[in-house]
Homo-oligomer: A and B are copies of this chain.
């Protein structure tokens, strides 16, 4: 039988098959516990022991499922970010397909900035020590999307590194610093993003 719930937890577009039922159940319990704690007490006060206790499982289970604190955060972020991913891949223009590539790039930046104002702290906490986990599927998906749009916009050069450059500006840590510590308004960030896009698409 096909279990829709089983697909919720994880990566953007991959179900995970052949998982035991207790494992699946515990994963849901853990994610729920984690999001409860975050919503209630903030990201910083989330400890792995706390999540385990809240979910009523052992600590080892948390680490088996998510590997590390960052992994758990990543899972949380993916859960929230799933709608965003579907929006820019399959949703209506200008974010989704149907609009000119450069407009889609602009929309992508604006949407990312808006998203980070909502759950940016979780996304930031999802990074390994020393920046975001650039090898994680979610990050790769974003870069792949950017590459596609850049090519479609007529970029001839190294679109892969251009995608890295674009994604670097949308990093949660950077945007939160600009927004919170430096007090820069959303509009200014969006404008800067557009300038960057224009600069890289010539």
Interface residues of A, Cβ cutoff 8 Å to B: 124-125, 127, 129-132, 134-135, 157-158, 161-162, 164-165, 168-169, 171-174, 177-178, 181, 184, 188-189, 191-192, 195-196, 198-200, 202
Contacts and interface: CB of A to CB of B under 8 A. Distances in A.
A142 to B, nearest CB: 14
Given A130-B127, A188-B158, A195-B157, A174 B178 contact: no
Nearest to A155: B195
Contacts of A178: 161, 164
A165 to B, nearest CB: 5
Q: How many copies does the complex hold?
A: 2
A36 B48 CA distance: 34
Interface centre among A165, A196, A202 (most CB of B within 10 A): A165
B131 A165 contact: no
15 contacts: A124-B131, A129-B129, A130-B172, A131-B132, A134-B177, A158-B191, A161-B184, A161-B188, A161-B189, A161-B195, A162-B196, A165-B165, A168-B168, A168-B171, A196-B199
A130 B173 contact: yes
Contact of A165 (B157, B177, B191, B192): B192
B135 A125 contact: no
Contacts of A134: 173-174, 177, 181
B135 A131 contact: no
Contacts of A131: 124, 127, 130-132, 171, 173-174
Nearest to A174: B168
A164 to B, nearest CB: 7
B200 A135 contact: no
